[in-house]
Amino acid sequence: MDNYIIEKIRSFPIIAAVRSIDDLSDVYSSNSEVIFLLTSNILILKDTIDDIKQHNKTVFIHFDLVEGLGKDYKAVEYLKEVVKPDGIISTRNNILTYAKDLGMPCIERIFLLDTQALKTGLNSIKQIEPTAIEVMPGVAHNVTRELATEVYHPIIAGGLVKTKEDVINALSSGAVAVSTSEKSLWFID
d(CA 121, CA 109): 9
Q: Is 51 helix (H, G, I), strand (E, B) or coil?
A: helix
pLDDT beyond 90 at 142? yes
CB 9 within 8 A of CB 154: yes
Residue 58 bridge partners (DSSP): 34
Would the CA dihedral through 186, 175, 6, 131 be positive or negative? negative
Q: Left (φ > 0), alpha (ψ -120 to 50) or beta: where does 176 sit?
A: alpha
The pLDDT tens digits for 83-138 are: 999 999 999 999 999 999 999 999 999 999 999 999 999 999 999 999 999 999 99
- Whole-number percent of the chain with pLDDT over 70: 99
**What pLDDT score does 63 carry?**
98
CB 24 within 8 A of CB 18: yes
Average pLDDT on 40-63 reads 98
Domain spanning 2-187: CATH superfamily: Aldolase class I (3.20.20.70)
**What pLDDT score does 73 carry?**
98
d(CA 169, CA 82): 39
Strand 177-180, strand 66-67: pairing: unpaired
**What pLDDT score does 168 carry?**
97
Q: Is 39 helix (H, G, I), strand (E, B) or coil?
A: coil
Average pLDDT on 28-55 reads 98
